[in-house]
Structure 1
């Protein structure tokens, strides 16, 4: 290269570097902060993602289902169940961590997340007993007044850890030997479903201590295979058998009262092979007084957890089928919003969120690829 040309090129390169450095120096520094979301509306969805391909760290994906938009993400621990407070200001997760990622010292905490900043507001260490199983809705629940959180433990001995959200501390651990899960009742009680077919109610005081317990005969486990994943409507819980019979139980009184069992299917539909399936397979819209159930044809004893692309709607008073919803995707878990213009939200096996307009009884759209392996979807109470 000509020496004069080389010197000219060198000067140009130095000038460019000086200009670049000068321009970079004028750029504003990056700032790390928190984006505050609007107050949660009745249609905001919280998808609990199991993260099976990386199960030591789960997550909750926050979604606007109408705008098909992800609003944010909450990082949780291993297979962490979550629950929303009734005032929508907090999402609680029961998290498990190990000091070496997949081994070492185990630590369990209940974390309270702010639903606008999606940042932790506080946490409390809890006994290292909480059930490390695929998340169910009644593994982590709240009292009606948001004072107490109930955490299901399985070691395999079963118990419930009661956390006081005002004191931000563990109030008690209540033994529920032979029983499972926690179905909240009012402000100061919860129930569990027991292996002998009974429904056990435990009442607590304002300090979170047990004051009494009763058992109500619920079903015969030797004759009726009951699905424990009930759906709640106020003071009424609705369970389903694996064959599609609905078993209501009223918890408004001093002791639970078992209601009359009714079937989702006619004899003709059963002969055609219709049955129920899915994980959280039922949802209720209080405004429309309707129940929504995942159903499928060719029902057999071993496919009662299979996902489906078909949802039937039932009137809770007449028990009659009043509508049907279809999607191209196979949905595993359902939840209905509780407002006067309700949506039905269904997480599908491909990680999407299927959205239905229940007022019009029609499919709206699918938010594709919003999660990895979703187990449950939550929305405002």
Structure 2
């Protein structure tokens, strides 16, 4: 009886397997394709995730902040800075890879990603020296006409690699000894902030080669600590000092013009301990002509990069504080969109994206768990 039962069970199992196999054989073959997103609008967010727990492969998370929807991801290299083209068609990343994952032959490339398919369109090898540091906004930039990409190098000697995005080749390397980063100026120039307190502008020809450079006295480094993570509004760059003063510089002329410095805080606010904090701690909404700054009430020498749940808004003409925005989360990088109904996008230390409606200065939503360790948020 026992043998009969086992045989029956075996026959039943075999029959079921045969039926299942027949059913599987009738399924259509899987196909590999590409999902094409709608053309990007001004509110689409691109979060640069440093992936510290697996830093050899970073990513850019693409998000629809209003619908709290992740649209896709772009895989990048080690601590890869990214920048969006002005025509909204391309995201560039400066990637570093090693042939054995964490060792072996190093390869650096500039990759051009399609913002609708999120697939690479092309890449070009660049010198093996681009800065492998915590990602800042002006490590990788593009000229105003999208013709050239500027890659910041640090070995620790500093230089800028110029890539022609039309011909898709490296034009050359420009030495910026003693200076850091690359702030684009118009179609054929970029600037760097220098350790001696000057603002150096390098002018290029139509082939991307240097034709001239100037240095403008910007601040006194022995008296003032300047934060290099500026924000741009047209031909104006706005820097902030560690003690909470805004230093503008106008790059519309042949040489930069330093504007008058103004304070974010009154004497009474300073006495209460208010100061600036965060990583990319400022943003500008150009259509509102407003500057947004992360602030905290316990400012000190050691916490000027700490995140905050408080953001103050300033009118760029009057320099007056005009609004205060708050969230339950601690934000450390900001980006304001450039349209007529702008959003303020803030990435928080828990990997979420905080969204504010700047037409009424309200916190509208938080997209939780969208990244691991975000550094910057970009928008078109």
Q: Same fold (TM over 0.5)?
A: yes
Which residue of the partner structure matches residue 80 of structure 1? 80
Which residue of the partner structure matches residue 250 of structure 2? 250
Measure the CA separation in 2 of the matches of 1:169 and 1:138: 21
Residue correspondence of structure 1 range 258-337 to structure 2 within 5 A = 258-337=258-337
Question: Which sections of structure 1, spanning at least 5 residues, go unmatched?
Answer: none
Which residue of the partner structure matches residue 159 of structure 1? 159
Which residue of the partner structure matches residue 206 of structure 1? 206
SS in 2 for 1:270: helix
Measure the CA separation in 2 of the matches of 1:91 and 1:231: 19
Measure the CA separation in 2 of the matches of 1:6 and 1:298: 76
SS in 1 for 2:13: helix
SS in 2 for 1:341: coil
Measure the CA separation in 1 of the matches of 2:28 and 2:328: 48
SS in 1 for 2:24: helix
Which residue of the partner structure matches residue 343 of structure 1? 343
SS in 1 for 2:174: strand
Measure the CA separation in 2 of the matches of 1:230 and 1:236: 10
Measure the CA separation in 1 of the matches of 2:3 and 2:300: 86
Shift of 1:12: 3.0
Measure the CA separation in 2 of the matches of 1:9 and 1:273: 78
Measure the CA separation in 1 of the matches of 2:42 and 2:373: 24
Shift of 1:5: 5.1
Bigger drift between 351-360 and 31-40 goes to 31-40
Which residue of the partner structure matches residue 147 of structure 2? 147
Question: Which sections of structure 2, spanning at least 5 residues, go unmatched?
Answer: none
SS in 1 for 2:159: strand
Question: What TM-score comes out, normalization by structure 2 length?
Answer: 0.98
Residue 53 (structure 1) aligned with residue 84 (structure 2): no
Residue correspondence of structure 1 range 211-226 to structure 2 within 5 A = 211-226=211-226
Which residue of the partner structure matches residue 36 of structure 1? 36
Q: State the number of aligned residues.
A: 380
Which residue of the partner structure matches residue 117 of structure 2? 117
SS in 1 for 2:53: helix
Residue correspondence of structure 1 range 65-104 to structure 2 within 5 A = 65-104=65-104
Q: Deviations over 1:259-304 (max 9, x none)?
A: 0110100111001110000000000000111000000001111111
Shift of 1:322: 0.4
Q: Deviations over 1:124-148 (max 9, x none)?
A: 0000110110000000000000000
Measure the CA separation in 1 of the matches of 2:8 and 2:125: 68
Q: Deviations over 1:13-48 (max 9, x none)?
A: 332222111111111111122111111111000000
Measure the CA separation in 2 of the matches of 1:63 and 1:184: 26
Q: Deviations over 1:317-351 (max 9, x none)?
A: 10000000000110010000001010000001111
SS in 2 for 1:370: coil
